[in-house]
């Protein structure tokens, strides 16, 4: 069965979540493009968006409509070719509305898992819990035909384990989209030894059609992305524990967050990133990796305390940031959580200036991440930045250089442990999936 055939009936499990909803937008548009081909005009296309909550599906309807409009507005040149025989579609607005309607027409919002019975392709994007995933896959196996193929968005659970326990006979592949899928180019592709060749080929073809950057990772818990991010986060937390005696806990968190954003020229600080992912999600991935890798160092008492006190981070339905390690106003950090007092320490200008003075100045010629993002000479700028940083004898410079060394060490170990096939793959995940300007395996130190 070709990919075109399989795209006639697709299901997404966990469709109302952050990942499932984004995958839904991408697949709906691809199905609409197929439907608009003359040879397919009599075919029925159906994308079953399945979730356990009716209220969540109500929210999903609004999200899908808004995202379909937004993405379609960026594709008017392509759509004019698709609709070249539609003389009634003159203005761009007419074309946009027509394609949004075509994309919306394939959608079926439902809580009924039985709707998967005719699906040829199923994307799973539910909670990162192996027991729940296996339970769902066993149900799907009973409902679906023996040629249905499954793509899991798991970010840490070994594919071979899920495949074996669910009895899917190699019809499962790891297809880890990055958040949000409608924007992020990266998809980490994880194949188990049992994964059938047809599914590997289908995965490659889907990536091409969705214009994604596919990076292979080997079937070892955490894969490349979380394999690096989790260890990066744990190192930052260990530095907070080391610094808090001298700078107190709020000061230590502020220092490490600023070091990782400004001094390392990243899009956000490490604690902002953990908040964005969700502290409870971070904890969950830690547990999964600790279980499958047998590495008892993959744990954090601080993360456990944050979760216990319900300071979880994550995002609201409108995409705004929830409070976690940091307190946010208009998605900007304004406070730091003090787990002992169970309240936020508000960052005032006087305190900020005093703490920044302890950190020390940024290197001469510093340019923030955003200004370098589209700079054709960013490599030269980054080399100069880190060269200047190495010449400085300040708290900030020392912390930044040590962090740079640690993040490189983590990346190199992903290769030596056989999780990544090459340093290029590690760097590709961090630059495409995390929007770093440079990969962790570099020559800056």
In whole angstroms, what is the distance from residue 210 CA to residue 205 CA? 9
Q: Which of 177, 192, 217 is the endpoint of a domain?
A: 217
Is position 440 within any domain? no
Residues 323 and 252 in one domain: yes
Is position 14 within any domain? yes
What is the three-class DSSP state of 327?
strand
Residues 82 and 111 in one domain: yes
Number of H helices, E strands in the chain: 17, 11
Phi, psi of 133 (to 5 degrees): -60, -45
Residues of the chain with pLDDT under 50: none
Count up the domains in the chain and report the number.
2
Q: Which of 189, 217, 245 is the endpoint of a domain?
A: 217
Is position 439 within any domain? no
In whole angstroms, what is the distance from residue 40 CA to residue 263 CA? 54
Q: How many CB atoms are located within 10 Å of the residue 146 CB? A: 7
Contacts of 346 (CB under 8 A, 6+ apart): 327, 334, 335
Integer CA distances (angstroms), 397 to 59, 358, 385, 442, in order: 46, 11, 11, 18
Is position 442 within any domain? no
Phi, psi of 172 (to 5 degrees): -130, 135
Q: Note the pLDDT of residue 84.
A: 84
Residues 211 and 280 in one domain: no
Is position 64 within any domain? yes
Residues 281 and 421 in one domain: yes
The radius of gyration of the chain's CA atoms, rounded to the nearest angstrom, is 23
Is position 175 within any domain? yes
- Choose among 74, 23, 51, 322: nearest CA to 180: 23
Is position 107 within any domain? yes
In whole angstroms, what is the distance from residue 264 CA to residue 267 CA? 9
Q: Note the pLDDT of residue 388.
A: 96
Is position 158 within any domain? yes
Residues 247 and 381 in one domain: yes
Model confidence, pTM: 0.94
Residues 177 and 266 in one domain: no
Q: Note the pLDDT of residue 317.
A: 74
Provide the residue range defining the domain that includes 313: 225-433
Residues 289 and 252 in one domain: yes
- How does pLDDT run across 197-214, given as a tens digit for each residue? 999 999 999 999 999 999
Q: Which of 193, 217, 241 is the endpoint of a domain?
A: 217
Q: Which residues lie across from 110 on neighbouring strands?
A: 50
Which CATH number fits the domain that encloses residue 331? 1.10.1040.10
Residues 212 and 253 in one domain: no
Residues 178 and 235 in one domain: no
Which CATH number fits the domain that encloses residue 211? 3.40.50.720
Residues 205 and 260 in one domain: no
Residues 213 and 229 in one domain: no
Integer CA distances (angstroms), 421 to 89, 104, 207, 224, 344, in order: 49, 40, 19, 10, 43
- How does pLDDT run across 210-264, given as a tens digit for each residue? 999 999 999 999 999 999 999 999 999 999 999 999 999 999 999 999 999 999 9
Residues 213 and 260 in one domain: no
Integer CA distances (angstroms), 23 to 104, 195, 382, in order: 14, 22, 34
Residues in the chain: 445
């Amino acid at each position: 069965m070709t990919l075109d055939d399989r795209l006639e009936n697709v299901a997404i499990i966990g469709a109302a979540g952050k990942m499932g909803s984004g995958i839904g937008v991408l697949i709906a548009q691809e199905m609409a493009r197929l439907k608009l081909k003359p040879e397919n005009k009599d075919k029925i296309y159906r994308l079953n968006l399945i979730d356990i909550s009716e209220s969540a599906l109500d929210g999903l309807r609004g999200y899908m409509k808004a995202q379909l409009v937004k993405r379609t507005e960026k594709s008017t040149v392509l759509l004019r070719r698709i609709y070249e025989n539609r003389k009634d579609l003159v203005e761009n607005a007419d074309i946009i509305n027509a394609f949004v309607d075509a994309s919306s027409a394939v959608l079926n919002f439902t809580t009924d898992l039985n709707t998967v019975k005719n699906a040829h392709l199923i994307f799973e994007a539910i909670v990162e819990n192996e027991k729940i995933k296996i339970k769902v896959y066993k149900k799907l196996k009973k409902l679906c035909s023996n040629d249905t193929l499954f793509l899991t968005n798991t970010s840490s659970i070994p594919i071979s384990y899920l495949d074996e326990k669910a009895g899917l006979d190699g019809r499962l592949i790891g297809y880890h989209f990055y958040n949000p899928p409608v924007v992020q180019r990266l998809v980490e592709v994880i194949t188990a030894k049992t994964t059938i060749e047809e599914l590997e080929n289908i995965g490659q073809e889907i990536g091409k059609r969705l214009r994604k950057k596919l990076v292979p990772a080997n079937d070892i818990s955490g894969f490349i992305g979380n394999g690096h991010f989790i260890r990066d986060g744990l190192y930052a937390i260990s530095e907070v524990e080391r610094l808090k005696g001298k700078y107190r806990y709020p000061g230590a968190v502020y220092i490490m967050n600023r070091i990782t954003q400004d001094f390392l020229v990243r899009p956000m600080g490490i604690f902002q990133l953990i908040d964005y992912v969700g502290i409870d999600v971070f904890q969950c991935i830690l547990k999964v990796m600790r279980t499958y890798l047998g590495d008892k160092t993959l744990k954090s008492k601080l993360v456990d305390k944050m979760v216990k006190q319900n300071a979880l981070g994550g995002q609201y339905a409108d995409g705004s940031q929830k409070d976690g390690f940091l307190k946010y106003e208009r998605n900007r950090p304004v406070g730091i959580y003090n787990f002992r007092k169970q309240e936020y320490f508000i960052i005032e200008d006087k305190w900020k200036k005093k703490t920044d003075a302890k950190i020390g100045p940024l290197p001469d010629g510093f340019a923030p991440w955003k200004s370098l993002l589209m700079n054709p000479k960013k490599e030269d700028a980054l080399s100069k930045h880190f060269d200047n940083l190495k010449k400085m004898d300040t708290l900030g410079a020392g912390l930044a250089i040590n962090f740079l060394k640690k993040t490189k060490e983590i990346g190199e170990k992903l290769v030596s442990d056989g999780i990544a096939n090459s340093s290029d793959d590690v760097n590709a995940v961090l630059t495409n999936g995390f929007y770093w300007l440079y990969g962790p395996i570099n020559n800056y130190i």
